[in-house]
């Protein structure tokens, strides 16, 4: 990205000259995090952007790895100081992407992966139209509901709420025109390969600007 391509002595051997911001979105239960981590493992110079959130830390979350956990007041400060590239309310809690860290990584030529919701993707694409946005879809609504149930970490009521929210998010994503590619997670390895292939094509300039098959 030309805006962030100034000389940097701290470049690593894996760094390249073609930094790219990769947005990955998708509803809960679609396997988005697993796909994101798979893409991260497959592309040598990729880095995952750790979001800031006001939601409560669960036993499965590692501070600084999954999220930076912040109070409402701390989040307010980040917004006021212009430190977030984007932020959104998701299930009543706030989530945001640290701007400076993302720009620093892009300047080093890396693939920066942000796992954010549709509202966030709209904000990022408005500010950085060159970002590449991928939306992960379930093979069907029935499969999505089953996957939400099998996570077993929530009540039926919470599952029903997430299912309704997921359907709304898929519809919004389709209508938004923001996503460059829709990947159906019917098979994890295949879905990761599809996303990785699209990113590689985009970075080598052979991408077709494919908007996907949906
Ligand atoms: P969870 O609380 O289950 O980890 O994440 C809930 C949702 O928040 C997911 O759909 C995820 O994509 C979204 N999310 C996580 N980090 C960010 C962020 O920095 N910005 C935005 N806009 N959404 C985020």
Q: Whose CA is nearest to atom 11 of ligand 1?
A: 116
Query: Ligand 1 centre from 155 Cα, in Å?
Result: 20
Comparing 26 with 154, the larger pLDDT belongs to: 26
Reported as a single tens digit per residue, the pLDDT across 37-61 is 999 999 999 999 999 999 999 999 9
Angstrom distance (rounded) from CA 74 to CA 16 = 34
Q: Closest by alpha carbon to 84, among 70, 197, 92?
A: 70
Quote the pTM value: 0.87
| Residue 94, number of CB atoms within 10 A of its CB | 20
* 194 touches ligand 1 (CB under 6 Å): no
* 102 touches ligand 1 (CB under 6 Å): no
Three-class SS state of 48: strand
Query: Ligand 1 centre from 206 Cα, in Å?
Result: 30
Largest CA distance in the chain: 53
Reported as a single tens digit per residue, the pLDDT across 149-170 is 887 678 899 899 889 999 999 9
Q: Is the dihedral of CA 194, 214, 32, 123 positive or negative?
A: positive
Angstrom distance (rounded) from CA 58 to CA 105 = 28
Reported as a single tens digit per residue, the pLDDT across 68-104 is 999 999 999 999 999 999 999 988 999 999 999 999 9
Query: Ligand 1 centre from 193 Cα, in Å?
Result: 23
Q: Taking the mean position of all CA atoms in its chain, how far away is CA 114?
A: 4
Query: Ligand 1 centre from 52 Cα, in Å?
Result: 9
Domain ranges of the chain: 17-205
Q: How many residues does the chain have?
A: 214
Angle subtended by helix axes 141-150 and 156-176, to nearest 10: 140
Which CATH fold topology does 17-205 show?
A: Rossmann fold (3.40.50)
Angstrom distance (rounded) from CA 138 to CA 150 = 14
């Amino acid at each position: 990205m030309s805006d962030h391509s100034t000389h940097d002595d701290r470049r690593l051997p894996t760094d390249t000259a073609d930094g790219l911001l990769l947005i990955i979105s998708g509803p809960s239960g679609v396997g988005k995090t697993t796909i994101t981590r798979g893409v991260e493992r497959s592309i040598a110079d990729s880095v995952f952007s750790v979001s800031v959130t006001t939601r409560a830390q669960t036993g499965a979350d590692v501070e600084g790895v999954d999220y930076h956990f912040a109070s409402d007041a701390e989040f307010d400060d980040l917004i006021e100081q212009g430190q977030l590239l984007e932020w959104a309310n998701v299930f009543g809690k706030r989530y945001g992407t640290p701007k400076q860290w993302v720009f620093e990584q892009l300047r080093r030529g890396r693939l920066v992966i942000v796992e954010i919701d549709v509202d966030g993707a709209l904000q990022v694409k408005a500010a950085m139209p060159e970002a590449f946005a991928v939306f992960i879809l379930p093979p069907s609504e029935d499969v999505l509901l089953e996957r939400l149930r099998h996570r077993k970490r929530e009540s039926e009521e919470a599952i029903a709420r997430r299912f309704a929210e997921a359907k709304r998010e898929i519809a919004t994503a389709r209508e938004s025109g923001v996503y460059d590619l829709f990947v159906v997670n019917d098979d994890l390895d295949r879905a990761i390969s599809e996303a990785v292939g699209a990113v590689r094509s985009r970075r080598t300039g052979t991408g077709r600007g494919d908007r996907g098959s949906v």
